[in-house]
């Protein structure tokens, strides 16, 4: 079984109810954080976990809303573990440069803590793995592969596929339909896909907002991607504009029905979906 928890379903537009983009993929005791948007550790705490529980952080691309709280994950992992526990961060080419700059920005804080605590005698240990496509070599029982997605001019960007115990889940990140994402979705049990309502955004009188139309997928396009791959469950997230808290999202789901006949999931932050080897055992639950 693989559990998907939508830690943050928001977007660059701050929302009082939706944290920034972040998804937790869990298989047994292994927990993988996909993207680290604003408020991610608060949502992780609400899910009963913390930075020390993370097996790795996987970044789909380097847009600010997807990495806003990566610094918080690094620092909190460091101060909340009592034996050296390196944090592995996986992302597209360019991730190491970004992490190096984050570490540089934290130098005053690290110096203060090392001076104050006798048992902190070194800065955080962070291992960065930059990927393009193919297997992601990490310890554990979950097989992780990645492929290029299309979020141009944000380039490169990647999606990830997680496989465990006969179940496969794909986390797409921001992208339009593309061959790389299709390859990850082939035969997958679930696809977590960021989406925007192009039918609404196209009518807004702000060009900067309209500019988002050409590098995100709509619910219809996400449904088409899922259908091409034979995916059983499509999980929508990163809602633009935001779905009202507690709303059913039925209008969003309705947009997928012409293109996809499987299960469609969406919800508030902490919405949790369990993907099991057989479709009749898929159990969606919503966190508190």
Q: Which sequence positions are flagged as catalytic?
A: 65
Distance CA 224, CA 251 (A): 17
41: tokens are 């550790």
Place of tokens 């061959």: 179
Distance CA 68, CA 189 (A): 30
194: tokens are 């960021």
Alpha helices in 194-271 (DSSP H): 198-201, 207-210, 219-229, 250-254
Distance CA 142, CA 165 (A): 8
Q: Cβ neighbours of residue 205 under 8 Å, at least 6 residues apart?
A: none
Q: Cβ neighbours of residue 54 under 8 Å, at least 6 residues apart?
A: 31, 32, 33, 73, 77, 87
Q: Is the Cα dihedral 117, 119, 122, 126 positive or negative?
A: negative
Instruction: Please return the burial class of 187, using the count of CB atoms within 10 Å of its CB with bins 0-12, 13-18 and 19+.
Output: exposed
Distance CA 193, CA 288 (A): 22
């Amino acid at each position: 079984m693989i559990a998907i928890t939508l830690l943050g379903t928001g977007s660059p537009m701050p929302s009082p109810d939706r944290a920034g983009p972040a998804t937790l993929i869990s298989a047994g005791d292994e927990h993988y954080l996909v993207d680290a948007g604003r408020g991610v550790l608060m949502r992780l705490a609400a899910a009963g976990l913390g930075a020390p529980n993370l097996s790795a952080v996987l970044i789909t691309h380097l847009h600010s809303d997807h990495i806003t709280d990566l610094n918080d994950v690094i620092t909190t992992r460091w101060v909340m573990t009592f034996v050296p526990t390196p944090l592995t961060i996986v992302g597209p080419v360019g991730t190491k440069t970004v992490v190096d700059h984050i570490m540089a920005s934290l130098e005053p804080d690290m110096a203060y803590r090392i001076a104050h605590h006798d048992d902190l005698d070194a800065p955080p240990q962070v291992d960065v793995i930059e990927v393009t496509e193919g297997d992601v070599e990490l310890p554990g029982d979950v097989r992780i592969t990645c492929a290029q997605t299309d979020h141009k001019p944000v380039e490169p960007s990647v999606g990830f596929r997680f496989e465990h115990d006969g179940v496969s889940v794909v986390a797409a990140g921001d992208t339009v339909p593309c061959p790389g994402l299709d390859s990850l979705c082939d035969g997958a049990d679930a696809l977590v896909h960021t989406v925007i309502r192009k039918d609404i955004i196209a009518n807004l009188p702000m060009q900067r907002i309209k500019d988002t139309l050409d590098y995100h997928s709509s619910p219809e396009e996400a449904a088409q991607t899922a259908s091409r791959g034979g995916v059983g469950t499509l999980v929508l997230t990163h809602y633009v504009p935001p779905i009202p808290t507690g709303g059913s999202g039925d209008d969003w789901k309705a947009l997928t029905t012409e293109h996809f006949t499987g299960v469609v999931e969406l919800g508030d932050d902490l919405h949790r979906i369990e993907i099991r080897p057989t479709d009749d055992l898929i159990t969606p639950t919503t966190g508190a």
